[in-house]
């Protein structure tokens, strides 16, 4: 098992390397001069040249690439061009908020989605099942930033039940601040996970081993949870992984709508200000996040499925 995990971790190296290379190439292809962007239109030729020399932009491309990789390995992303704050500090300040938003919204999505899916599966083609179908349709169709804006207007601005922006201080205040943003992201998640729970569970409940469980004398509750849901967890955990990853794109918009700190908002403002090193670091953070979530899912599979455990 430890060996399997180690191998999976080693698998990540080429992926991260590829991402780094793509980021490097993208940054060199992007239109615009980083020196000009950093120093502004008023800088004279000498200043620009001095900047390029200092940042190593005059080095041959391969040498820039080697420097870039070496810095990335040491997690040294340099400083922001705009604020001159070390990027590692920016990330350390913003990343926890995005991770927190991801956890809370996925948890909400699970708490809403899985019971809905379970109930719909047991009431197949009856009212609850059709209700879930409509709920999912709405969940898929309403964009999260739109829902976020509506929630913000209704519950924060008009009713004043929730704070309007920021992330809050301390646990309870933080929870108070994160509720609406997380809920905005959770609608789609619960719609997706609800449908997935229903489909996976119905598929599993039709299997022969579920009939065996009934023939043993297991009651419906036990059949559904012990034999059904546990087996449905295999496709479901993949869905949860997808749902976690989807939070990234959702967080970009939601952090803007609710004016919350986070990697998404950091990245958006960096793009607006052509703050190349920050964009570079932000894209890498996202890529690393994707890769780590995939690894996490692989670990979850091992715990759920003895067949994978055996092979490793």
Partner 1 sequence: MSDRLLDIRDLSVEFGPVARPLRVVDRVSFSIDAGKTLGIVGESGSGKSMTALSVLRLVPEPPARISGQILFDGRDLLKVPRRNMPAIRGKDIGMIFQEPMASLNPLMSIGDQIAEAIMLHESMSADRRRERVLDLLRLVGLPDPEGRLGAYPDQFSGGMRQRVMAAIAMACNPRLLIADEPTTALDVTIQAQVLEMMLDIRRRFNSAILLITHDLGVVAEVCERVVVMYAGKVVEDADVGSLFANALHPYTQGLLRSVPSLTDTRKRLYQIPGSVPPARTIKAGCPFRPRCPARMDRCAVEMPPLVPYAPGHRAACWAVSKEMAE
Question: For residue 4, how far is the Cα from the chain centroid?
Answer: 25
C-beta of 222: minimal distance to partner 1 in Å? 8
Nearer to partner 1, 170 or 217 (CB): 217
Nearer to partner 1, 42 or 125 (CB): 125
C-beta of 237: minimal distance to partner 1 in Å? 12
C-beta of 220: minimal distance to partner 1 in Å? 8
CB distance 119 to 128 below 8 Å: yes
Nearer to partner 1, 74 or 219 (CB): 219
C-beta of 207: minimal distance to partner 1 in Å? 7
Q: Return residues touching partner 1 (CB under 8 A).
A: 207-209, 211-219, 227, 230-231, 304-307, 310
C-beta of 129: minimal distance to partner 1 in Å? 15
Nearer to partner 1, 69 or 218 (CB): 218
Nearer to partner 1, 3 or 311 (CB): 311
Nearer to partner 1, 51 or 301 (CB): 301
C-beta of 201: minimal distance to partner 1 in Å? 14
CB distance 16 to 291 below 8 Å: yes
How does DSSP assign the chain, residue by residue?
A: -HHHHHHHHHHHHHHHHHHHHHHHHHHHHSSS-HHHHHH-TT--HHHHHHHHHHTTTTS-HHHHHHHHHHHHHTT---B-TTT--BHHHHHHHHHHHHHHHHHHHHHHHHHHHHHHHHHHHHTTTSHHHHHHHHHHHHHHHS-HHHHHHHHIIIIIIIS--S-SSS--SHHHHHHHHHHHHHHHHHHHHHHHHHHHHHHHHHHHHTSHHHHHHHHHT--HHHIIIIIIIHHHHHHHHHHHHHHHHHHHHHHHHHHHHTT--SHHHHHHHHHHTT-HHHHHHHHHHHHHHHHHHHHHHHHHHHHH-HHHHHH-
C-beta of 109: minimal distance to partner 1 in Å? 24
Nearer to partner 1, 67 or 216 (CB): 216
């Amino acid at each position: 098992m430890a060996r399997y995990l180690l191998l999976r971790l080693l698998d990540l190296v080429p992926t991260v390397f590829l991402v780094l290379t793509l980021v490097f190439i993208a940054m060199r292809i992007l239109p615009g001069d980083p020196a000009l962007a950093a120093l502004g239109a008023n800088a004279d030729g000498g200043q620009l040249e001095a900047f390029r020399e200092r940042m190593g932009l005059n080095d041959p491309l391969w040498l820039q690439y080697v420097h870039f990789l070496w810095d990335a390995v040491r997690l040294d992303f340099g400083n922001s061009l705009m604020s001159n704050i070390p990027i590692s500090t920016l990330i350390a300040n913003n990343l926890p908020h995005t991770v927190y938003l991801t956890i809370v919204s996925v948890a909400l999505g699970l708490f809403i989605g899985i019971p809905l899916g379970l109930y719909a599966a047991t009431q197949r083609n009856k009212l609850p099942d059709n209700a879930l179908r409509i709920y999912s349709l709405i969940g898929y169709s309403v964009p999260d930033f739109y829902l976020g804006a509506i929630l913000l207007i209704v519950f924060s601005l008009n009713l004043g039940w929730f704070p309007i922006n920021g992330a809050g201080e301390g646990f309870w205040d933080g929870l108070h601040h994160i509720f609406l943003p997380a809920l905005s992201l959770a609608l789609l998640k619960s719609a997706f996970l609800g449908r997935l729970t229903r489909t996976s569970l119905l598929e599993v409940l039709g299997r022969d081993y579920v009939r065996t469980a009934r023939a043993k004398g297991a009651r419906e509750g036990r059949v559904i949870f012990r034999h059904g849901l546990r087996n449905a967890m295999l496709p479901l955990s993949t869905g949860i992984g997808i749902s976690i990853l989807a939070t990234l794109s959702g967080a970009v918009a939601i952090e803007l709508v609710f004016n919350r700190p986070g990697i998404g908002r950091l990245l958006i403002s960096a793009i607006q200000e052509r703050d190349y090193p920050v964009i570079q670091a932000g894209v890498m953070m996202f890529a690393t996040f994707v890769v780590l979530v995939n690894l996490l899912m692989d670990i979850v599979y091992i715990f759920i499925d003895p067949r994978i455990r055996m092979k490793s």
